[in-house]
Amino acid sequence: MKKNVAYLLTIFFIVSCSDSGSTESNSENVEQKKYEWRLVTSWPKNYPGLGMAPERIADLVEEMSNGQMKITVYGAGEQVPAFGVFDAVSSGSHQMGHSGGYFWKGKVPAAQFFTSVPFGLTADEINAWVNRGGGLELWREIYEPFNIYPIPAGNTGTQMFGWFNKEINSLEDIKGLKMRIPGIGGEVLKEAGGIPVTLPGGELFTALQTGVIDATEWVGPYNDLTFGFHQAAKYYYYPGWHEPGPMLELLINIDAWNSLPRHLQVIIETATNAVNQDTLDEYLARNNQALNELIEVHGVELRKLPDDVIEEFRAISEKILDDLAKEDETISKVYDSYSKFKNDVTEYHKISEDAFVESRNK
């Protein structure tokens, strides 16, 4: 009996050691496997804010994974055109992309709600809707047929309306105006008599300077100063009714995403969520300093759009959004969720943030 017990204990010890060694070996193999991905963007390489957001994501992922995953970021035009990011990720020619959903309105009209719509959600509000109000589930649902997995990846905060070579004193001044303005904001301008133009950021200064366009929106003082728009236009108009809180997106090819071990998926999600907030912080910290430089150093004339122009844009926006919801079942589903959230948060803000800001700024 003693011999049998000793024999069994010996076998158990050998098997235990073997299993332990196998587990350690498998763990080492997983850790040693390297992933090298390519990320294409709609922004100039290393551009402040927009262009640096994907760079920060890549840096965080590499550091958090201890070098197991390396992401190489390419600016607009380096591997694909600025507006070719969605197709590149969808096809799998590139694993990742960084851009804005309203650029894909021809392919996925409802995608515009996950960037910005006129008179819509602010940056904090769209973050809350997407992350805690059901927006993210809808976003992933409408991108899934295109083999894309989206993650919120930055926000510029409320933008400026843009740069103009003439004053806007009434709705008549909008008629015939050629302006670079994407998304539903462009549709609003068109209904008001203007001519919306879609151009990537890298082409805007030359187009404005040479008269190809009469006006352009871009982002806000922080980015607009770096592009030098003050050298091509005199008037700088606010508020940015067309983009109150534009969210950027990290696009990931679903097949590539599913090929990753779970811990790398978590690292990518975590890094991107961090950069989503960090980018908004960057714009909030930099915009007013840049605005002061534009006005005090470069003599830019800051102007507010006339109230009647803003109200006309609001009325047109509401009609366009309602019509889109009636014509497209997917838009209707997204718009319903978006509108309910907006109405709820607006009611609360009346007695919270809005009330406080009004009292603070008197």
Q: Are 188 and 211 in contact (CB under 8 A)?
A: no
Please, what is the average pLDDT of the chain?
A: 92
The enclosing H or E element of 323 equals: helix 307-327
pLDDT tens digits along 120-151: 999 999 999 999 999 999 999 999 999 999 99
170 backbone dihedrals φ, ψ, rounded to 5°: -160, 175
pLDDT band at residue 23, thresholds of 50, 70 and 90? very low
- In this structure, the dihedral spanned by the alpha carbons of residues 284, 289, 290 and 291, taken in order and rounded to 10 degrees, is 90
Angle at 22 between CA 21 and CA 27, to 5 degrees: 100
Q: How far is CA 319 from the centre of its chain?
A: 25
Distance (Å, whole) CA 303 – CA 291: 12
pLDDT band at residue 313, thresholds of 50, 70 and 90? very high
Instruction: Give the pLDDT of residue 362.
Output: 87
Instruction: Give the pLDDT of residue 17.
Output: 44
Q: Are 317 and 244 in contact (CB under 8 A)?
A: no
Instruction: Give the pLDDT of residue 32.
Output: 72
Residue 261, strand partner residues: none
pTM as predicted:
0.90
Higher pLDDT, 20 or 113: 113
- Residue ranges per domain, the chain? 35-158+245-284
Residue 312 confidence (pLDDT) above 80:
yes
Task: Give 35-158+245-284's CATH code, choosing from 3.40.50.150, 3.40.640.10, 3.40.50.300, 3.40.190.170.
Answer: 3.40.190.170
pLDDT tens digits along 185-239: 999 999 999 999 999 999 999 999 999 999 999 999 999 999 999 999 999 999 9
Instruction: Give the pLDDT of residue 2.
Output: 42
The burial of 138, by beta-carbon neighbours within 10 Å (0-12 exposed, 13-18 middle, 19 or more buried), is given as buried
Instruction: Give the pLDDT of residue 3.
Output: 44
Q: Are 169 and 245 in contact (CB under 8 A)?
A: no
Strands of 235-238's sheet, edge to edge?
Answer: 195-197, 178-180, 215-216, 162-164, 235-238, 301-304
Residue 293 confidence (pLDDT) above 70:
yes
Closest CA to 273 of 86, 34, 64, 119: 64
Residue 89 confidence (pLDDT) above 60:
yes
Range name among 3-17, 46-60, 197-211, 249-263 with the lowest pLDDT average:
3-17
Distance (Å, whole) CA 129 – CA 110: 15
- In this structure, are strands 35-41 and 69-74 parallel, antiparallel, or unpaired? parallel
Give the whole-number percent of the chain exceeding pLDDT 90.
91
The burial of 23, by beta-carbon neighbours within 10 Å (0-12 exposed, 13-18 middle, 19 or more buried), is given as exposed
352 Cβ neighbours under 8 A, 6+ residues apart: none
pLDDT band at residue 31, thresholds of 50, 70 and 90? low
Range name among 29-38, 214-223, 298-307, 310-319 with the lowest pLDDT average:
29-38
Tell me if residue 328 falls in helix, strand or coil.
coil
Higher pLDDT, 30 or 115: 115
Distance (Å, whole) CA 168 – CA 174: 7
